[in-house]
Chains A and B, each alone.
Chain A
């Protein structure tokens, strides 16, 4: 009885953003994830850590890699995974997020993974349910598991993040990936350079402990990592930018611009890529420089670690 009462009082911890985590918690997640890399590469990928647990994936925005990555992660840990198809659900009939949350909560899930187009949607959800909430991307705010998998990829190649010079380039204004990475990489001691046209930089970004560049060549100079962000096509129509061609000329990652970075610099991209717009197609596939596929691979391990930690 006593333990039951304690459980009722203790609220589950959520993963809503990197900004809520301590350095020790980040390191704990990354250490856990390391162990799952081997499991994922072995023949028998199944574990029973989350046996008997229920995981609901609630994706309000279309997603290929994050959703499949979370689904695989849950299944490999032995959880019962349900992915809600939003297009056919009551949300399309006008149900609010809070009501959806209450409905799902009544089915006693252990973890809800949510992606939503509105910043703060995961925060709202976490206030209304009894289970743990994992943020798989909310509006422009945060995408914590992406930043964690990026960190894991960097650590596996460069041993440590501390002291590295890392450039993040592209549409920072609309990017949750950029925000989560800025928090995480600066917390782990990296020097972060932010590169983008002023139109695509959010206000007061300099107060986040990063260096800001509008000239890409200056921004990537001597960097260990060049992380490119996806440029969404609608940015052209709304006058943020003039054309794809001009953007590529000034902010696309070409072999010429990469020359300015360190010779052993690595290229990263959260995907999906627009080849020829933000990144040269040959560079994206260059196995000596690009770790883009590795990011996807380690993404599953990181999500397994998150599910394990936040589910129990």
Chain B
């Protein structure tokens, strides 16, 4: 299980360092897949049906559906294949390291993970959440914003699993559905921003506001 946690945290680091959008999406998918395997490993058996279902559901949504939607929206919006970070990739990586150090050193301040999970799980979850935030803050394109949002959500998911120990399926499903809707909205929005402005730089969204004021 430690392996999966390491994999999840490494994938978050890779997201900070990679500049090609398609590889970023693959990594997010991979992260989702690892995350979906976690409940099964934690229980260590395939006996409980709702765990298996939940695992499968997570996998379907996080590792298949969302990446597929994202890839499609890239293709349809014919976005250039590179992220345009506000903070340079080197510095993002440094920041990622710093975030990890911070998260791991606050291990005592955080509530401990419940038994099936290793004590490392909580700081890992925190790191992933923070890196997600960092991605949201430091990237300009709408699609990278979505990716950052996904990473953030993955972190929250992991957090929830660690702290609750059990998996209240309904809550989880609700979260996942929320997200799915979010992705749809984002996808449509990306498509439309692209139609209207020929690019998907969220910084330019502020231009909308000004133009409204002008028309008024």
A and B are interacting partners: no
